[in-house]
A and B are shown apart, each in its own frame.
Chain A
Amino acid sequence: MKEYDIAIVGGGGAGLTAALYAARARRQTVVFERKITGGQIATTDIVENFPGFPEGVNGFDLAQRMLQQAEKFGAETLYDEVRTLCRDDDGRFRLTTEAGGYRAKAVVVTAGADYNRLGVPGETELTGRGVSWCATCDAAFFKGQEVAVVGGGDSALDEGLFVSRYASRVHLIHRRDTLRASEILQERARANPRFTFTWDTVVERIAGDEAGVSGVELRNVRTDARWRLPVSAVFIFIGQSPNSHLLRGLVDLDGGGHARVDLRMRTSVPGLFVAGDVRTQAARQLVAACGDGATAALAAEQYLDETYPEAG
């Protein structure tokens, strides 16, 4: 069974930065990524708040550069989902994926968070046929058409603004009457002639057939009024849930399912670190995730020095 010094679970900003630090410290490092390196930023059109890029930078390109940088120093990337994680009696960790088992002296979990689903009829059936969690992937298919964007946070507005380059109208459906999104995004959305705000409203059902989404059934939460809005797509940005299932039973989780860590990203299990959006009280910003990844890698480095001094 292949053994690494540091195994990193998740190849987003936190994981790729942890990999860069770990590999650059000459540790045998592996990153497991179940989907796309970059995580959430990989599908972000323009990242405007990562320092050093005054013009903004394409999220996918930035992630690819982070990956190249980690690989340049020797980090390995395996595109496979880690199914189980446990700690053996000798203190080393065992990870299993579809392809097999791996061992690691230290583990950094940077599994991030996934967008929540609405949980309404039609959502699963119409995924890929107009129901989407990725505007940069799918917006271009709705040129000149009316679409709905559900949510009121940064993601909803950011992605909604992207969709408005293609769609003739973007209906923002929000269950409250105020937005959580940052002021700069709110200003842009209000100034956008293609944006329409539908307040205090939830989606009850997504209608459609083989040909795709044909509309959403809406309900006003104050008046209980119900109506149908014809749209050809529904982009859903209603918050995220941490991918902490690997950690369940292993480390303490907070009420939202995020791992509890100290300021050095250490969990209650020696040698197991958690960084980025999957940890408690994360800022959920790329630059913060990267910072977390560096902190975790340095703490892991110190753990390895102390626990395996002969190997150093």
Chain B
Amino acid sequence: MAEPREITDQSFETDVVASELPVLVDFWAPWCGPCRMVAPVVAELSDEYAGKMNFFKMNTDENPQVPSRFGIRSIPTLLIFKSGELKGTIVGFRPKSDLKKRIDEALSV
């Protein structure tokens, strides 16, 4: 299972905004229990959507700029981007089936 790569405030433009594929970013922090539940689900999804979507993680403790730019006040939060534009926001832990539905919705917009 491919663990999504950690990205930073500095790499956000190249990794996410300039990405040709749609992108999902999992915002997390080490102190957040529910984030630890989301991580393995996101890793599974990253396998299932391989070639169709890129999956990344961002530690909100170490990277204050991007979370504040998107008004993130709660984690886990998953943001979905397509052509650099925000297409979907998922706050809190959801079952995998829910996440897939939300991802597919965001991708079809």
What 1/0 mask marks residues of chain B from 80 to 95 whose CB sits below 8 Å from any chain A CB? 0000000001011111
Please tell me the number of chain A residues within 8 Å of chain B, measured between CB atoms.
32
Select from chain A the residue with minimum beta-carbon distance to B90: A128
Select from chain A the residue with minimum beta-carbon distance to B92: A128
Q: Which of B31, B37, B71, B76 makes the CB contact (< 8 A) with A140? A: B31
In the complex, are the beta carbons of A81 and B71 less than 8 A apart?
no
Nearest CB on B from A78, distance (A): 9
The answer to whether residues A127 and B91 also contact, given A132-B74, A137-B34, A141-B72 and a CB cut-off of 8 A, is yes
In the complex, are the beta carbons of B71 and A212 less than 8 A apart?
yes
Nearest CB on A from B94, distance (A): 8
**With A81-B95, A137-B75, A140-B31 given, can you name 11 additional A-B contacts, CB distance below 8 Å?**
A34-B95, A36-B93, A58-B33, A128-B77, A128-B89, A129-B71, A136-B31, A137-B33, A138-B75, A140-B60, A211-B71
Residues in B55-109 with C-beta less than 8 Å from chain A: 60-61, 67, 71-77, 89, 91-98
Nearest CB on A from B40, distance (A): 10
A-B contact pairs, 8 of them (CB 8 A): A36-B93, A37-B37, A42-B37, A80-B97, A127-B91, A128-B92, A136-B32, A137-B92
What 1/0 mask marks residues of chain A from 201 to 233 whose CB sits below 8 Å from any chain B CB? 000000000111100000000000000000001
How many pairs, one residue from A and one from B, have CB atoms within 8 Å of each other in the complex? Answer: 76
A99 CB-CB contact with B under 8 Å: yes
B5 CB-CB contact with A under 8 Å: no
A99→B97 CA distance, assembly (Å):
8
In the complex, are the beta carbons of A35 and B33 less than 8 A apart?
no
Interface of chain B: mostly helix, strand, loop or mixed: loop
Select from chain A the residue with minimum beta-carbon distance to B32: A137
In the complex, are the beta carbons of A210 and B34 less than 8 A apart?
no
In the complex, are the beta carbons of B73 and A79 less than 8 A apart?
no
The answer to whether residues A212 and B73 also contact, given A80-B95, A127-B91, A128-B92 and a CB cut-off of 8 A, is yes
When distances are taken between beta carbons in the complex, the residues of chain B under 8 Å from A142 are 73
When distances are taken between beta carbons in the complex, the residues of chain A under 8 Å from B71 are 129, 210-212
* Interface, chain B (partner A; CB < 8 A): 29, 31-34, 36-37, 41, 60-61, 67, 71-77, 89, 91-98
* Interface, chain A (partner B; CB < 8 A): 34-38, 42-43, 58-60, 79-81, 98-99, 127-130, 132, 134, 136-138, 140-142, 210-213, 233
A138→B72 CA distance, assembly (Å):
10
A130→B29 CA distance, assembly (Å):
17
Select from chain A the residue with minimum beta-carbon distance to B89: A128
Select from chain B the residue with minimum beta-carbon distance to A61: B33
The answer to whether residues A79 and B95 also contact, given A37-B37, A138-B73, A210-B71 and a CB cut-off of 8 A, is yes
Select from chain B the residue with minimum beta-carbon distance to A138: B74
A60→B29 CA distance, assembly (Å):
14
A129→B97 CA distance, assembly (Å):
24
When distances are taken between beta carbons in the complex, the residues of chain B under 8 Å from A34 are 95
When distances are taken between beta carbons in the complex, the residues of chain A under 8 Å from B74 are 127-129, 132, 134, 137-138, 141
